[in-house]
Every structure is written in C-alpha cells, then in structure tokens.
Copies of this chain bind each other. A is one copy, B any other.
Amino acid sequence: MHILIIGAAGMVGRKLTQKLVKDGKLGERAIDALTLADMVTPDAPHGFEGKVTLQTADLSAPGEAARLIGARPNVIFHLAAIVSGEAELDFAKGYRINLDGTRYLFDAIREAHDVDGYKPRVVFTSSIAVFGAPLPYPIPDDFHTTPLTSYGTQKAICELLLSDYSRKGFFDGIGIRLPTICIRPGKPNKAASGFFSNILREPLVGQEAVLPVSDDVRHWHTSPRSAVSFLVHGAKIDVETVGPRRNLSMPGLSATVGEQIEALRRVAGNKAVALIRREPDEMVMRMCAGWAPGFEAKRATALGFEAETSFDDIIRAHIEDELGGALQ
C-alpha cells in the first residue's frame, strides 16, 4: 500500500514515518510506497525498502493537493498546520494554511473520487484546542466545540468538513484530537504550553527548567509514542464502528504539574526536581486557566485507542525513545 504523510517534517510526522518504516506494514498490508510532503523537504527515512517520494509542497497553493494525491495513496495522514501562536498572530495566514489548505486537500480527493472512485483513508490531526473555557472536568465526548483561538477554530471547522466529506463517501476520514504532547523532544520552545515538557525534559539531562505556573494546574497529556499510535490506529480502524461522528477525543493522562513533578522525582530523583525553577508568569497562568483539564474519551477508548496511565510511564517512554534507554 501507498501512504502519504502531509506535514512529514514535523515532530509527529517524523515519528510517524519512523514507526511506519519499522512496522513495514499497516494492519495486514505491507507498505510499499511512502510519500513524505511538507513545506520544507522531509528527510528520507532510513531502512525502508519500498519506494520513497519526498515532496516540497504548500498545501494552501492551488493545485498542490491534486499533485500530492496524483498517485492515489491509500492512506493520507494530514498533519500539516501552522501552530496556535502563529495562527493567532497572522489571522489570514492561519485560515489560509489551516483551513483552505485542508479544504483544497479534501476537494482534490472529492474530485478524484468523482473521476475514478478514489476513496482513501484520511487521518487528520485535530486538537483539544477545539474546546474553549469554561470546561468541565472531565470533558464528555458530546461536549460542544467553542474554541477560543483561531487555531482551534480552524481545527474545529476541518473536523466538520472531515465528517461531511466522509458522510458523502468521498473518503473515509478519522479526526484525532491529540492531547498536549509530553514530553516533547528537542529544545525548549516559545509555545506557552512548552513548560509541561520543559520541566521534565531538561532536568532529565541535568539542565534547569522554568515553571511559570502553580503546581495545581491540571492538563491533558500524552507521549509522542502514544500520539503516533493513535494515528496508526486511526488508519486501521473499521470506520463502520466509528459511525458518522468521525472526530474523536483521544485518551490521555490528566495530571497536575505537581503530579508531573512527583513522577519526575520517582523516576529521576530529587536532584532532577531541584532543577525546576519557579518563576510565576501571570500571562501564562491566565492562558492555562482556559486549557482542557482532561477528557472522558469513552468513545476512543471503546474503539481501541490506548494511552499511558501514569506520568512515570510517559517519562520512561521519553527515556527509551530519546535518551537511549537510561539516564546518564
């Protein structure tokens, strides 16, 4: 089978590529072709014996979507988006990339469907940003999507399109509402939510990290490993069992910052915890107050999506996947 990943150069895209290459198959079917597309040319994966095509593509440019699906990939992972902060700063760009880009893709598939019956699986990464405060805890599966960011609005709109295009039979769509990914590998970044990862990742390698909020802030997390597993499961799942409501809040782990820190203490000791420097930041605290504290995720759990059940496991996943399996 042929798999297309749009947004393959990002963190999740790279990890998804690695996972697919390692497995060599999706469900029962061998993967014989991979097309990796992004605004910057993705790296070629190591160890894949099938055909690899690397594409530099801006999905929001007319015609690009039709080109990307020209070879009729069986499964399309659509991960491409500009992030929340950028979509908030540049309103028009956010709508162009995150909404129009997705719609061009969906319409290109629809037009191909009308020509030759093409009907791929489309796995779309949505986000818990489709929800906006005030939020209950836990958030039930049937809670309304009232985003408080343009990014969340764009994701919620794409979810609606995904369901409607699936209902009309143009493709088999599954929308995956990812929790906040923790521990996000790499360097500390400027995302307001970055501290959830920073306070674990940096101390694990002996570096200081700044905690801008109080210990009782509760949020919804999953590891990069689980995020990838959600996408792969979403590509395999029988859509008949999903029904017409194609967008699923994924399982995850609801934890306070204090619980994160205690997990760090259990896994890496007091020395690691001592590297967390508390520097309260009013603005980040205000933003945090609107973020999702946790979900019931009953539907996704019943459909076989699985996530970590303790922060110790999330930290250990990071040590295995990013630090060679052991602390220095």
Contact = CB atoms under 8 A, between A and B. Distances in A.
Interface string A142-179: 11111110100100110011011001100000000000
B142 A143 contact: yes
Contact of A164 (B153, B167, B245): B153
A188 interface: no
A144 B147 contact: no
A99 B145 CA distance: 18
Interface string A237-271: 00000001100000000000000000000000000
A132 interface: yes
A146 B156 CA distance: 11
A137 interface: no
Contact of A168 (B91, B143, B164): B91
Contact of A145 (B132, B145, B147, B148): B145
B132 A244 contact: yes
Interface residues of A, number: 23
A157 B146 CA distance: 11
Q: Which of A143, A144, A147, A245 has the most CB of B within 10 A?
A: A144
For the complex formed by this chain, how many copies does it contain in all? 2
Contacts of A146: 163, 244-245
Contacts of A157: 157, 160-161
Nearest to A91: B168
A164 B143 contact: no
Contacts of A150: 164, 168
A160 B153 contact: yes
Interface string A121-154: 0000000000010000000011111111010010
Contact of A144 (B110, B144, B148, B168): B144
Interface string A64-93: 000000000000000000000000000100
A234 to B, nearest CB: 18
A147 B132 contact: no
17 contacts: A91-B110, A132-B244, A141-B144, A142-B143, A143-B143, A143-B144, A144-B144, A144-B145, A145-B160, A147-B160, A148-B244, A150-B168, A153-B163, A153-B164, A157-B160, A157-B161, A160-B160
Given A153-B164, A156-B160, 12 more contacts: A91-B110, A141-B144, A145-B145, A145-B160, A146-B244, A146-B245, A148-B167, A148-B244, A153-B161, A157-B157, A157-B161, A160-B160
